[in-house]
Structure 1
Amino acid sequence: MRREIIFLQDSRKPIEPKPTLTQSIESLSSLISLTHSIRVFAVKWQLIRNKLEELKSGLVSAEDLDENPAVSGLIRAVMATVAESFDLARSCVDLSYSGKLLMQSDLDIVLGKFDLHLKSLNEIYCSGMLTPGHALIVSKPGIGACKDDLRFYVKDLLTRMKIGDIDMKRQALVSLLAVVREEDKYVKIVVEIGEVLGVLVGFLDTPEPGIQELSAKVISVVAGFDLCKGTLVCSGVIAPLVRVLECGSAAGKEWAARCLNKLTQNADNAWSVSAHGGVTALLMICSGECSTAEMIGPSCGVLRNLVGVEEIKRFMVEEGVVSIFVKLVRSKDDMVQMNAMEFLQAIASGDEITRQMVIKEGGICALLKILDPLSAQSNKSREVALRAIENLFFSSASCINMLVNFGFLELLVHYLRKGEASVQEIALKVASRLCSTSAEAKKLLGVAGFMAEFVKFLDAKSFEVREMAAEALSSMVMVPKNRKRFVQEDQNIGFLLRLLDPEDGNPAYKKFLLSTLTAITSCNSGRRKIVNSGYLKNIEKLADAEVSDAKKLVRKLSTNRFKSMLSGMWHS
């Protein structure tokens, strides 16, 4: 390209025109390219290359502002340093430098100059002279782009986050959030370029809510990768996240809690959260009248992760956590309810004192209220409530009596009869577990009509449901009064014998059915109904197949009184 020569009136010395922004960007690109061929002082040149790429991205954003005096001055300074760097780069490529120590010193000086240029550019941006309207946005690499292109894009976003004004920072964060959500490769690059995490962590303390929230969202995505959690913690992310919990915006608190929820899945990080006042901040959110469901949900999750540390758990209890969470169980929001119920199960697990506190605070009534068929609760909430009642109260006879007095059995049998499939299955599991707690519980279930419901599930489509119902029924008929009730229903015995199809490949299921039939042979009417059922062949085939429980049943039936009725049957 022809270069113009300008002469001043008072001097005949030629003055070359000032370098343009485009020329400076091209020079930076050429220098970056040259540095990749250097094989000596690799660490120094990598640091210089990082500064060059940041500077280039920042100058690209300043395009079309050549006439701005501040930008023009910066361009001249950059070009001078670039020229100096070219000389050093060629010396390193040709190995023509005079000494290692001198070259290292020269490289440090150049690195410092580029750092000053970046600071100057940052000041220009902060002054408001460069606005997003003048910024040239680097296009996001397409599908299948190489790692170098992805790195360049992330570094460009980093530059914008560092030296841009508020709007440019926000746009860069939006772009970064989009790519880390879209592709895991970007998450790895964000972690590799450690400065990105440093900037994101710094943004958590910004007074700008939008910047704070976007940063927390990006960090939350990164925290979702196990290999990245340690790097995040080493970047000092926990303390600023706790500060966001204390005084951030509603959305900021939500995303800070989401981040901590992921990070505290590793118990080693629990102490760090507690040491920075995180437990108190989380309890304030959970008990705050202005807290939203979006804030409370992940906050519950963090606290649930922390209860595994006994000292932190005791602190929570002393701070009134049980009262707070029983209150949350009464919330009108399903997600808040479910999180609260799961937390109470976690904190009271294996802890009788805390479990008694749950009862004292009205936990039983709060859970039963969710099971009220007339209440507007989701099926998912009812499932969680049923599991919570089982986990919290079935280990104590006194608690079971309280449940019975409050009408729990009526609610449970209601869901066995009329509940949605998912709730029905949980109700069956809970009822089955209740059967195994004591003989008194079996009697209560018998009076409440549970055996008829168990029988209905014996031919369910799910093998797991069949087996569960068969086991519960087998347990129930161990009680004499329940056996009498079962035998009184004429269709029960025939139904069980019909289900003993030798072709059915579920041995555990058959074992429980045979156990039930063996138990009812203790009464004459039971044995008589078995013999008269018309399905004795099923027992005979199982006995012939060496099924031990079938053989035992045959022995029970083969008493003197019934031998004449059992002619033709197999005898052991």
Structure 2
Amino acid sequence: MGEEKPGHSSPETSRGMSSLRRALEIISSLITLSYSIKVFAAKWQLLRSKLEELNAGLIATENCQFSSANSELSGLFSAILVTVNECYDLARRCVDLSYSGKLLMQSDLNVILTKLDRHVKDISDMYTAGILTHGYALVVSKPGVGACRDDMRFYIRDLLTRMKVGDAGMKRQALVNLYDVVVEDEKYVKVILEVDDVVNVLVNFLDSPETEIQEASAKVVSVIAGYDSCKGFLIGAGVIAPLIRVLECGSELGKEGAVRCLKKVTENSENAWSVSAHGGVTALLNICAGVHCDGELVGLACGVLRNLIGVEEIKRFMVEEGAISMSIKLSRSKDEALQAISIEFLQRIAFGDELIRGMVIRDGGIRALLRVVDPKWSYCSKIREIALRAIESLCFSSTSAVNILMNYGFVDQLMYYIRNGEVSLQELTLKVAFRLCGTSEAAKKALGDAGFMTELVKFLDAKSFEVREMAAEALSGMVSVPKNRKRFVQDDRNIGLLLQLLDSEDGNSGIKRFLVSILMSLTSCSSVKKKIVNSGYLKNIEKLAQAEVSDAKRLVRKLSTNRFRRMFTGLWHS
């Protein structure tokens, strides 16, 4: 014999349980029968939905502990049995088309629907009054892998009923189970959209005074928000305002779930205004500025703010509220994930805005970024790459910013990574150096003094076409400076390599154009002219001139004048 459940032993309780079990049997048959009804289809869909909700509530009730007022419960179960019998009679008449009139049948169906709805509310009230307690409630078993849509829908309806009518413990357990299924199988997310009221209940739970219920609902909502098909439902249910209230007053776990959801829904800029209108920007900034906030939470909040930057008015408000100094401070964090998101935030908020860019520089943004790039400090390559991209974006359009960079040793840092960095970091460093080279004559001189031309020559023979072209273009710019030209031609191997590459770059007219440009600059030195003429590559240069390659004609003219003319074996005539 199994142990008897407390509160289930009196004769009155036994009668009530008998009514309950009979009601469950009839409801199960009624739900099946309803699918074969061809008339009043919309009304029977509503009735079936309410029957499934009532069924789930009764199953939960069957396994609960009755704490008091067994006569009240017995009366409720008897009334439910009467109602479902009436409903079954109406269903049979609809199947057989044996009703006397459509209007009368429609009226009878409305009455039954009202009764069923009242029974669901009565069960909820029983929990609220403490007549039913959670001691023995068991959630219906989750359908197995590959379950049909109807089984999944029934399971979700069961969870919905428990969330509606259960006590705090039952609500928490239902939310845990709901989270498990939406994480495991996205089909359940689609089912949630098909079952009325699930999204509304979840949104309402975000305002629950029970911390665990608020946290659990925030977790579920954050998963659902990851599906584009669900975002509209969440927004329509008014999810923004309660999410922001969680940010303002919730627990750390609740805030994390809320901010994850906001990050997903604000990927669509149309929702940015709603977040701002409910005070979300201020709440997010407060989290980012919080001394005791978890690093992951701050990073997520910073990510939401980054999504909102696209709206000009919101961006201005952020700046007025100190977002620049806040993000510079976060960029100095020991948490590299937080550093990365804050640097990307800085880069995005200042993009295309000289005023904000100036604020970043004045507030110490350049020094903060250079600290990340500095080889003396221990950072991973990824965060250094993010910092380099931010420096390129923030500084290279301003001469004063470029001068600050060079005064703080930026060129030496680039030299270190071009020689010692991982491949991806080396290539990014090359790109940044190429951009820096185009900012000013002073930058070209600084790069030349640091020995950058030697490194660029090495990249001229790289496997990547993009890398070769970038190196050639950068070198073309650098040798336009007389001091750099003089340094470059001191190594005899450089001219020979350029000529060899010019011969080997079949079809790559872009690279050839820059190589010819480099040679053109170098011919200001007579010794270079001799080396080119004596190299055996003149015919190749002539072919490029005939092919209209930029600077090739000028180069041939320059090499074919005066005392160099007689050195040609075949003169090219323009």
Does residue 160 of the first structure (1) align with residue 137 of the second (2)?
Answer: no
CA contact (8 A) 1:204 1:241 kept: yes
CA contact (8 A) 1:415 1:423 kept: yes
CA contact (8 A) 1:454 1:473 kept: yes
C-alpha distance in 1, partners of 2:366/2:36? 72
Shift of 1:101: 3.1
Deviates more, 1:166-175 or 1:25-34: 166-175
What do residues 84-120 of structure 1 show as CA deviations (whole Å, max 9, x unaligned)?
1012222222333333333222222211211121122
Aligned to 1:488: 490
* Closer/same/farther in 2, CA of residues 400 and 17 from structure 1, 3 Å limit: closer
C-alpha distance in 2, partners of 1:501/1:62? 86
Alignment of 1:51-200 (within 5 A): 51-63=50-62, 69=70, 71-126=73-128, 127=130, 129-131=132-134, 133-143=136-146, 145-200=147-202
What do residues 423-468 of structure 1 show as CA deviations (whole Å, max 9, x unaligned)?
2221111111112223332222222222112112112222222221
Aligned to 2:363: 361
What do residues 280-321 of structure 1 show as CA deviations (whole Å, max 9, x unaligned)?
100100001011111111111111122222222222111111
C-alpha distance in 1, partners of 2:19/2:567? 111
C-alpha distance in 2, partners of 1:369/1:132? 58
Question: Which secondary structure state, in structure 2, belongs to the residue aligned with residue 98 of structure 1?
Answer: coil
- Taking only the aligned residue pairs, the percentage that are identical comes to 62
Shift of 1:406: 1.4
CA contact (8 A) 2:298 2:338 kept: yes
C-alpha distance in 2, partners of 1:222/1:31? 32
C-alpha distance in 2, partners of 1:66/1:376? 60
Aligned to 2:21: 22
C-alpha distance in 1, partners of 2:155/2:208? 24
* Closer/same/farther in 2, CA of residues 506 and 21 from structure 1, 3 Å limit: farther
Amino acid at match of 2:61: A
Aligned to 1:294: 296
Question: Which secondary structure state, in structure 2, belongs to the residue aligned with residue 207 of structure 1?
Answer: coil
TM-score by length of 1: 0.91
Amino acid at match of 2:309: V
What do residues 185-244 of structure 1 show as CA deviations (whole Å, max 9, x unaligned)?
222222232411111111111233332222222222222222322221111000000001
Shift of 1:36: 1.3
Amino acid at match of 1:23: R
C-alpha distance in 2, partners of 1:377/1:441? 26
C-alpha distance in 2, partners of 1:451/1:527? 20
Question: Which secondary structure state, in structure 2, belongs to the residue aligned with residue 373 of structure 1?
Answer: coil
Shift of 1:80: 0.7
For structure 2, the residue ranges without an aligned partner over 5 or more in a row are 1-14
Shift of 1:552: 4.9
Question: Which secondary structure state, in structure 2, belongs to the residue aligned with residue 500 of structure 1?
Answer: helix
Q: What count of residue pairs does the alignment treat as equivalent? A: 556
Question: Which secondary structure state, in structure 1, belongs to the residue aligned with residue 460 of structure 2?
Answer: helix
C-alpha distance in 1, partners of 2:245/2:64? 39
Amino acid at match of 2:138: A
C-alpha distance in 2, partners of 1:460/1:71? 82
Does residue 245 of the first structure (1) align with residue 244 of the second (2)?
Answer: no
Aligned to 2:6: none
CA contact (8 A) 1:63 1:136 kept: no
C-alpha distance in 2, partners of 1:299/1:490? 57
Question: Which secondary structure state, in structure 2, belongs to the residue aligned with residue 291 of structure 1?
Answer: coil
CA contact (8 A) 2:139 2:174 kept: no
Shift of 1:540: 5.7
CA contact (8 A) 1:180 1:186 kept: yes
Deviates more, 1:338-347 or 1:166-175: 166-175
C-alpha distance in 1, partners of 2:310/2:447? 35
C-alpha distance in 1, partners of 2:346/2:17? 71
Alignment of 1:165-564 (within 5 A): 165-502=167-504, 504-533=506-535, 535-536=537-538, 539=541, 550=552, 552-564=554-566
* Closer/same/farther in 2, CA of residues 489 and 54 from structure 1, 3 Å limit: same
